[in-house]
Amino acid sequence: MCYSIPGKVIAIKENIVSVDYFGEDKKAKNDFFTLKLGDYVYAQGGFVVQKISEREALPVLESWKELFVKLQEADLKLSQNPKTLYQRANYIRNKYLGNACCIHGIIEFSNYCRSDCLYCGIRKSNTVLKRYRMEPEEIVKTAVDAVKTLGFKALVLQSGEDTWYDDDKLVEIVKKIREKAAVLLVLSIGERGIKTYQKLYDAGARGALLRFETSNPALYEKMRPAHKLAERVELLKELREMGYLTMTGFLIGTPGQTDEDIQNDIKLTASLGTDMFSFGPFIPHPGTPLGKNSAPGLDRVLSVIANTRLSYPEAKILVTTAMETLDKENGMKFGLLSGGNSLMVNLTPAQYQRLYDIYPDRAGVAEDVVQRINSAIKLLYSLGRAPADLGL
């Protein structure tokens, strides 16, 4: 199985190529391959991750052709004649970005954290939580299997702020995965020095997922004791300058957050030139100081997704798993129907999943990986979405 569709290179301008997917043209950055017009590639997250031969590409394209058109038609049907805010956002998403939907896998490799964020269940003060760390070889194996066996083309490696993984360990992990598998590697390891990120870039990582959590400096300092918003924002800017695709965003419904904060959160995400908006609901965790607060309602979160889509028609907007926790039945679906066009599938090995307890009742932890992938694909198809690249 494969969660991306190969495309044909139809234009090249320095390290930016245009890739054709059945008549749709998407741009992608190419750092790793020598490409010429007519070559076939897989791109994910706006990044060329693999070059394949025509002999390999044609049968895959043939198998997709009919389904691709059917999905396009289904999406078009579902997104026309908008009336509500959510429907307008869905219409705009279809108009500007078509039915492509990125699917990234996420591997949560350690729940040790030196930070003490008030909202987060893996904060260092939560002494009740059993901690785990995956060995570097285990991380590499999980990632390589995700690419080779499960067909992923983009993987997020996420952890608490765990300095047990020093620069050498992280570099080794990234290098080994990149040697063995064609994949866009996205790091979500929190605040590390710029030198560390540079080494990881040189080792082959190309994406960084780092939410700024809130654009309100006072709220930020309250939620993330001993941290400064300006430092996190500066790091995001530097990562982007270094060449990383950046994914950032904020929590919706954090106690103390105002409507104005949310407007500013959306603006800050956009002004950072983010390649993917990542925001999701705050879910109270009983083992944290915010445990007695409430999660926002689904409508509040959907309206943030929809308003973001209307303000930034070409944004790539992730529908996070926390949406599913908020509403198991409809969270993901409504997110995708309100302007969202990207999702993540949790590939953390089963024995660790429950322990990566950033918030309680994480959706999907009871299912095995294949079940989770199948439900994601089923959902996408039911909405007429294709796992093609969204482009740059």
Strands 342-346, 102-110: parallel, antiparallel or unpaired by DSSP? parallel
Neighbours of 148 (CB within 10 A): 13
Strand segments (E) across the chain: 7-13, 16-21, 24-29, 40-44, 47-52, 102-110, 154-159, 184-188, 207-209, 245-248, 251-252, 276-281, 317-319, 342-346
Q: Which of 349, 269, 265, 273 is nearest to 300 (CA)?
A: 265
Report yes or no: 266 and 307 within 8 Å, Cβ to Cβ. yes
Alpha carbon distance 94, 83 (integer Å) = 15
Query: How far lies 263's CA from each of 20, 21, 248, 344, 350, in Å?
Result: 36, 35, 15, 25, 38
Judged by beta carbon, residue 28 or residue 317, the one nearer ligand SAH is 317
Judged by beta carbon, residue 197 or residue 359, the one nearer ligand SAH is 359
Contacting residues for 114 by C-beta, under 8 A, at least 6 apart: 124, 160, 161, 162, 163
Q: Does 220 bind ligand SAH (CB under 6 A)?
A: no
What string marks each residue from 149 to 188 as x (binds ligand SAH by CB under 6 A) or -?
Answer: ---------x-xx--------------------------x
- Least distance between ligand SAH and beta carbon 288 (Å): 7
Structure tokens at 213: 């959590």
Q: Does 236 bind ligand SAH (CB under 6 A)?
A: no
Q: Does 359 bind ligand SAH (CB under 6 A)?
A: yes
- Least distance between ligand SAH and beta carbon 322 (Å): 5
Judged by beta carbon, residue 94 or residue 325, the one nearer ligand SAH is 325
- Least distance between ligand SAH and beta carbon 8 (Å): 36
Report yes or no: 349 and 368 within 8 Å, Cβ to Cβ. no
Strands 276-281, 342-346: parallel, antiparallel or unpaired by DSSP? unpaired
Q: Does 190 bind ligand SAH (CB under 6 A)?
A: yes
Q: Which span (88-96, 194-202, 209-217, 265-273) binds ligand SAH, by CB under 6 A?
A: 209-217
Q: Does 219 bind ligand SAH (CB under 6 A)?
A: no
Report yes or no: 251 and 280 within 8 Å, Cβ to Cβ. yes
What residues between 246 and 265 interact with ligand SAH by CB under 6 A? 251
Q: Which span (75-83, 148-156, 208-216, 262-270) binds ligand SAH, by CB under 6 A?
A: 208-216
- Least distance between ligand SAH and beta carbon 108 (Å): 8
Q: Does 285 bind ligand SAH (CB under 6 A)?
A: yes
Q: Does 87 bind ligand SAH (CB under 6 A)?
A: no
Q: Which residue is nearest to ligand SAH (CB)?
A: 190
Which of 26, 176, 211, 316 is close enough to bind ligand SAH by CB under 6 A?
A: 211
- Least distance between ligand SAH and beta carbon 42 (Å): 27
| Residues found near ligand SAH in the complex (CB under 6 A) | 119-120, 158, 160-161, 188, 190, 210-211, 213, 251, 280, 282-283, 285, 322, 358-359
